[in-house]
Structure 1
Amino acid sequence: MAIRKNSERPPQVGQFVSVKCGGSVPVRHPLMRDALLQAALDPTVRSIEYLPAIPAAPPTWDIDAIVIERDDCRYYLDIVEARPRRSTAQRLMITQALLDLGLRPLVRMESDVMREPRCTNARAVFAHAGRPVDVGLRLQILGALTEDGAMPLGELLLRLRSHRDPVAAVMSLACSDLIELDLISTPLGPRTVTRLRE
């Protein structure tokens, strides 16, 4: 019963990057990408990190875990359908090692990750990640939310004056963790509640 060594890592199918990440996070399954999009836009999530191994453990174990720090605790993301192939003994050893690090399991099923409207909303918003936002437009958006508090997205967009697309700017600021969008209650639209990030 050997745990895979760092040199035996499976090929990566992509990388995920967000302002909440301490660097890029390897993505080995499509469900993992969707879960990370949602975590990056979740106001309760403070940071997302990749934990490749536990160096102090003999031998160096290939953990391949994604750590999500929320307001209440630090978790490791465990998507049932995206679990790496490991024996039961390996899975138990790795679970114990993660628990010893103070990480609790955040178990999600495919049905949780793909739940609507959150999944489609997160994909639509994150399509604008990293897009530059004109300083004037940024000040208008943040100023309106600072002065008047939370408001429907449609109302916010009506207040903005710019030659650039204000929708893309709002989505980009949400990806930058400067504003929050309610992506759970209804499909993204004029009634989506928008607020300044606390």
Structure 2
Amino acid sequence: MKVAVIGATGRTGQAMLAELLKRGYDVSVLVRDPAKLGDTADKVQVVQGSSTDRSAMSQLVAGTDAVLSALGPTSKEPDLHTRTAKLLVELLPAHGRFIGVSGAGIDVPGDQKGPRDKVISFLIRKLGGSVVKDKPAEYEVFAASDLDWTLVRPPRLMDGQATGKIVHDAHKPGRSSSIQRADLGQFLVTVLDEGLYVRQAPFVSGG
């Protein structure tokens, strides 16, 4: 299976990319600076550009079976994820597979958040600024599309080694307020492998 990756040089993206290669996927990556891939550049097909560059994105997704994104937020482009989502909806075929990272503070229909998580979501909406508004808008773009999308919602991301212990659910957040990026990277690939949570935004956290 051929997979396209956006955000491969970030910390979560590196973990996800390593897991894809470990599981034997044929991978193409979109990067602004190929040098940031290091030795991994020899193991993937590299497309240089940004996720809002139509030409680069067209080249990236051509012939792919799925697109995975670990694109992080940036204050320089507060609507980056929404613009990227709109472009993917245009470029991918009907029922094309997309798996990306959102955030546990984002609310979607059907959520079963407890008081603590509701307060956290409220504070994020009030204090997060324009970058935080990008994620709900991204969700709305995918939800209105005909893609087979999944937006995974983790809590605070940590930089330790994988624990192999996570919990995930379509509607209810886990008790843990964090997850290792390495565990998240593995979970994103498992979502692809097992066809999990199609057209849903599951919560995932450390176990």
Say whether the fold is shared (TM-score over 0.5). no
**TM-score between the two structures when normalised by the length of structure 2:** 0.29
Query: Highest CA radius of gyration, 1 or 2?
Result: 1
Greater relative contact order, per chain length (Cα 8 Å cut-off, separation 6+): 2
